């Protein structure tokens, strides 16, 4: 059995490489430190029966070009880069383990909430420049935090916010009533969440239903003192609308770890004083990398991790 590891993050992790090579001695790794574009990805996958992928785009042209690939095991939890319908049509099994990076992403979301609430980044920069300014801030403990999407990561964010003492609202198309009761989380409509929250934290997947979910109308519905945090996927937030809302004072600030195009090119947005940007590091911790990588290794041989693809 031949294995190709397209994921650059997996490939540069010495521990994961060693663990995979124990099971599959001939595994091939992407050591370019780049997300492979379609042509290079096809060349890389050619001749292999199974693959581990990360941010690479797997669509109908790729599946058609490498019919020998029968199993794809996902490094990470986002499935927006894989055309699941095309995988089904080409008979490719997609294997995936949800929730393996939830702690790392949740901690970054909490960090962003606190950084925005206390103006941490601009104040730290000012001190380095010789400016001594002490504006007011607010505590997470007194904030109303709205969790938009209460799956694995959203639930972990809710738990941590409740430990701080925050009031937590949640909205999801799936009912998590048992979780809500156990952790004193109040389920509400999306409109109510946007209107009432001091901090809105996004934790939905990127798909046709969520692309552009947060646009000008939604931002205008938020409090002018509110903050928006996105550690989910780029494309969920309309970045142009967000920029206008930040400049116009429709919301107080925002933080994003993900962008519609990465790396982002809108310097005007990136340099706004009330915007905090990080380079898609939500799952980029040692612990999360090992958890995601080991789950991907297991997925190569574990049919129970296969996504049921609709016919």
**Tokens read off for 167:** 């009031």
- What amino acid positions are annotated as catalytic residues? 233, 262, 280
Residues 5 and 24 sit within 8 Å (Cβ to Cβ):
no
Contact 70/301 with Cβ under 8 angstroms? Answer: no
* Residue 287 near residue 104, CB atoms below 8 Å: yes
Token pair of 70, please?
Answer: 């029968």
Three-class DSSP category at 82:
strand
CB within 8 Å of 173: residues ≥ 6 apart: none
Bridge partner list, 229 = 201, 255
Could you give the count of Cα atoms lying within 13 Å of 50 in the half-sphere of its Cβ?
22
User: Which helix (DSSP H) or strand (DSSP E) does residue 244 occupy?
Assistant: helix 239-248
Measured between alpha carbons, how far is 210 from 22 in angstroms, rounded to an integer?
40
Is the sign of the CA dihedral 15, 41, 23, 290 positive or negative? positive
Give backbone dihedrals phi and psi of 202, rounded to 5 degrees, phi first. Answer: -95, 130
Copy the structure tokens of residue 233. 């996927």
């Amino acid at each position: 059995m031949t294995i190709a590891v397209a994921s650059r993050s997996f490939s540069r992790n010495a521990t994961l490489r060693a663990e995979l090579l124990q099971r599959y001695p001939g595994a091939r790794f992407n050591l370019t430190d780049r997300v492979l574009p379609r042509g290079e990805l096809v060349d890389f996958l050619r001749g292999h029966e199974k693959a581990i992928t990360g941010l690479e785009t797997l669509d109908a042209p790729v599946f058609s070009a490498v019919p020998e690939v029968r199993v794809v095991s996902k490094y990470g939890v986002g499935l927006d880069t894989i055309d699941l319908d095309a995988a089904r049509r080409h008979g490719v099994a997609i294997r995936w383990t949800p929730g393996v990076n939830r702690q790392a992403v949740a901690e970054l979301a909490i960090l962003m909430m606190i950084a925005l609430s206390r103006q941490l980044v601009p104040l730290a920069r000012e001190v380095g420049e010789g400016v001594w300014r002490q504006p007011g801030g607010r505590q997470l403990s007194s904030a109303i935090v709205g969790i938009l999407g209460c799956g694995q990561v959203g639930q972990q964010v809710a738990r941590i916010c409740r430990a701080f003492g925050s009031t937590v609202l949640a909205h999801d198309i799936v009912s998590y009533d048992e979780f809500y009761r156990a952790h004193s989380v109040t389920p509400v409509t999306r409109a109510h969440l946007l209107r009432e929250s001091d901090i809105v934290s996004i934790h939905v997947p990127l798909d046709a239903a969520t692309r552009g979910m947060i646009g000008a109308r939604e931002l205008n519905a938020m409090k002018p003192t509110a903050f928006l945090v996105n550690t989910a996927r780029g494309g969920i937030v309309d970045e142009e609308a967000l920029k206008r809302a930040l400049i116009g004072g429709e919301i107080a600030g925002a933080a994003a770890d993900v962008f519609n195009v990465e790396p982002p090119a809108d310097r005007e947005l990136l340099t706004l004083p009330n915007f905090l940007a990080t380079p898609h590091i939500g799952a980029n911790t040692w612990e999360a990398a090992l958890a995601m990588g080991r789950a991907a290794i297991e997925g190569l041989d574990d049919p129970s991790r296969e996504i049921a693809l609709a016919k």
